[in-house]
Amino acid sequence: MRPKSIIMFERLFLASLALGALSVVLNYQALTDLAANDPSMRQVGLGSGFLIGILAVSYAIYLLLWYLIARRASSAAKWILVVFTVIGVLSDLPGLAGGWNSTLALSLVVYALEILAVVYLFRPDAKAWFDGQEQADPAAFD
């Protein structure tokens, strides 16, 4: 049986992915315009199809990490997610200097959910689960 911390991780992490996908949908035109106006992408002929491919691969990686962490208790996947989260947060810090808008606000909510999800991976019951120790369900003894 999965501990409560892993269940909370799963809920928060999947919510962050869903909100991130919503952000992509809402800002798709701005993203494609940005890619179209990038001289290096124009020079090699990469367009919106490439952007969609990158997004699909990114979400596939995150879903694989979710599965390995929440269903297979992979400690390696946990640490990969921690590294990805830190890199993502650090790469978005310069964006805080710009003007506030709905895209930035949604991005902050997504990162807050992801950070909170990662924090749940370091709670004692989650640590025991990653170490392969079985957790007894306290409700089973009632």
C-beta atoms surrounding 81 within 10 Å: 23
Q: Residue 116 and residue 101: Cα distance in Å, rounded?
A: 23
pLDDT at position 140, please? 44
Task: With cut-offs at 50, 70 and 90, classify the pLDDT of residue 141.
Answer: very low
Helix (H, G, I), strand (E, B) or coil at 136: coil
DSSP 31-74: HHHHHHH-HHHHHHT--HHHHHHHHHHHHHHHHHHHHHHHTT--
Give the tens place of pLDDT for each residue, 33-56.
877 777 777 777 767 788 888 899
Mean pLDDT for 16-44 is 84
Q: Name the strand (E) or helix (H) holding 116.
A: helix 102-120
